[in-house]
Amino acid sequence: MIMPLTESEIARLIDHTLLKADATRDEIHKLCEEALQFQFASVCVNPWNVAQAAELLRGSTVKVCTVVGFPLGATLPEVKVFEAQKSSERGAQEIDMVINIGALKSGLLDAVQADIHGVVKASHQGGALCKVIIETCLLTRDEKIQSSLAAKNAGADFVKTSTGFSTAGASPDDVRLIRETIGADTGIKAAGGVRTLEDLQKMVEAGATRIGASAGVKIIQQLRSGKIAGASGASSGDKY
């Protein structure tokens, strides 16, 4: 994939993210204002904040993204489905769900895929995309492949690398492995530790088609400064 060169193209890659537990309504308001100003792809917020974000972004091209089974993935499948349904009803247009990592590591691949499929189905019925977080930092190479294939086979729109709440975030090598595994037709969201324009560029070059970051404003400001290679000119990160 060729690295986008324009500010607009880069902004449309970014899910502008605020998932900390103590996020206030004022902070969500600011997040949405920034997303509108820079025309990010979406804001990514916890389910409690979906209705507020949906109201602030109504009529705009900025989507409302939320998380399901977050951040551990060990929620019961029925609860994940319910969470996705209720989030869609409140205005979520994209759902980022966490797989059952323990089930994956126990070799229960059918259970993992069924868990994903339930949320994918609920998301799509609610008119939302579904991104599947596999939490790459906790997985072996084989488990990364297995979980990526499970997400694709369950109908996911994206495979997402990380929650940003575990031991590490996205890496270009993991993005590259996921792309090799799922092919060109499913999106990849790189999240966790993408703090600079250089970080974003590396993820896109590896195959990412969406970036989860709380440093989106900083990334655009770096682009505007003209100091970053690969944008208009060099180098080159908020956790998510």
- Let me know: does 119 contact 82? Beta carbons within 8 Å: no
The catalytic residue among 15, 96, 157, 174 is: 96
Report d(CA 151, CA 136) in Å as an integer: 13
Cα separation of 139 and 149, whole Å?
A: 14
How far, rounded to the nearest angstrom, does the alpha carbon of residue 3 sit from its chain's CA centroid?
Answer: 19
**Does the annotation count 131 as an active-site position?**
no
Question: Around 64, how many Cα atoms within 13 Å sit in the side-chain half-sphere?
Answer: 30
Among residues 63, 80, 131, 189, the one annotated as catalytic is 189
Q: Is there a catalytic annotation at residue 189? A: yes
Side-chain-side CA neighbours of 136 within 13 Å: the count stands at: 26
185 is catalytic: no
Q: Which of 144, 160, 202, 239 is catalytic?
A: 160
Q: What is the DSSP letter of 235?
A: -
Helix (H) / strand (E) element for 152: namely: helix 141-153
Question: CA 116, CA 155: separation in Å to the nearest integer?
Answer: 9
Could you give the CA distance from residue 152 to residue 149 in angstroms, rounded to a whole number? 5
> Active-site residues: which are they?
96, 160, 189
